Amino acid sequence: MSRAQTLVLALLALHMLLGGLCVAISRGEHKSRALRWWGLGLLVYALALLFTMGAVFLPRAVALTLGNTAVAFSSALCILGVLAHTPSRLNRVAVGMALGATAAVLASANVTGYHTLVVNMGVPTLVASVLFLYGAWAIAARGPRDARAASQFLAGILVLAVATWLGRIFAMIVALDGTSDADRVDLIVSLFAIGQMVNGVAATLALVWIDVRLMQSELSRVAHTDALTGLANRREVRRRFQEEASRAARHGQRFALLLLDVDHFKQVNDQYGHAVGDTVLQGIANLLNASKRNEDVLGRIGGEEFLVLLAQQTREGAVEAADRLRQALRGVDLEAGPEGLRMTLSGGVALYPDDGAHWDPLFAAADRRLYAAKRAGRDRIEASG
């Protein structure tokens, strides 16, 4: 077995290993369309190498036609995996027609013997190059924001793969120009196999990198977001509070912590059920989010309680801002229940640093004033006492 055959066999084994691993990962708890399609593409490419190496009991012309058609097909499968992370899609009809034309040209060349080597290398390479360049553009320009570095890296590897294929064709044409130097051809094939192994591993790792970054982003979102309303949860609100407190301390500014509670919310759950109650909370969250300033932070910290960090506010300004939020809900028909519901809010305001320079004293002050508003008849804001 020559050096080139050994390395091509290693290339085949590597693609089988990577392809099987990608498919296995994609079928586990983490369902990844990208890894599933990419893995299938690698497995089909490994199968294509079996045919082109003559490892199947078929006439050589048939084996070469099937093998090189499979090379082009494997590229389409791999790019489906890349595009799974983008809004771009392949035109299935156009790809099908291209693969059909590829098979026809390969069959004609292999049966007639007309420029067999050039056609077997050039035609599938042309199809694969177009697909890979399209995939590189799509993942670079339209890949996920949370995995920009990984997407750019993958795009670069796809372009490098195309350069490797075109370089092989050029090298083969130069090597065979008027000569039959077997050693030179063996070296070119060997170097190409090594390049393919590097590109295959790098691209697979890039796809895994993208998936890991997306999972990290999702875990972070779940950890810091209220599942019902999509607002910041208590953990995220406290983190944002620390940021706001540090900024205010540096610049000698004030900000306010506003604690809001939906009045008589228990009656909604008791009368209409928790599903309607959830719809009410979502409606209130959307209304408050639309009514607050962009620089303010709104979160749901539990049950029917919402918290707003009012940036750069005096006590009077904070009370006015809180009352605007209260008035925004008052009199609005929420699309919940058989007839729609009208809800009101009670709130308590605490000012940094007047009422405390840390979370616990400020939250306690706002909570105390919230319950004072409840005792005073609800649907009001309290900022002292």
**Active site amino acids:** 304
- Distance between CA 234 and CA 166 in Å, rounded? 56
Token pair, residue 143, equals 């890949």
Residues 137 and 121: their CA atoms lie apart, in Å, by 24
C-alpha–C-alpha distance, residues 209 and 150, integer Å: 6
* Interacting residues of 376 by C-beta distance below 8 A, sequence separation 6+: 382
- The H or E element spanning position 258 is strand 255-262
Q: How many Cβ atoms from other residues are within 10 Å of residue 149's Cβ?
A: 11
Q: Using DSSP, state whether 164 is helix, strand or coil.
A: helix
Six token digits for residue 222: 């779940």
Amino acid residing at 360: D
Residue whose entry in the numeric block shows the structure tokens 């369902």: 31
Task: Lay out the sheet containing 255-262: strands in order across.
Answer: 297-302, 305-310, 255-262, 345-352, 381-382
Tokens 């749901």 sit at which residue? 300
Tokens of 203: 């691209």
* Beta carbons of 299 and 233 less than 8 angstroms apart: yes
**H/E element, 173:** helix 148-175
Q: Dihedrals φ, ψ of 261, to 5°?
A: -135, 135
- Letter string b/e over residues 75-103, b meaning 16 or more CB atoms within 10 A of that residue's CB: bbbbbbbbbbbbebebeeeebeebbeebb
- Please, how many CA atoms are within 13 Å of residue 84, restricted to the half-sphere of its CB? 22
3-state helix, strand, coil in the chain (%, to 5): 70, 10, 20
Count Cα atoms within 13 angstroms, Cβ side, for 369: 24
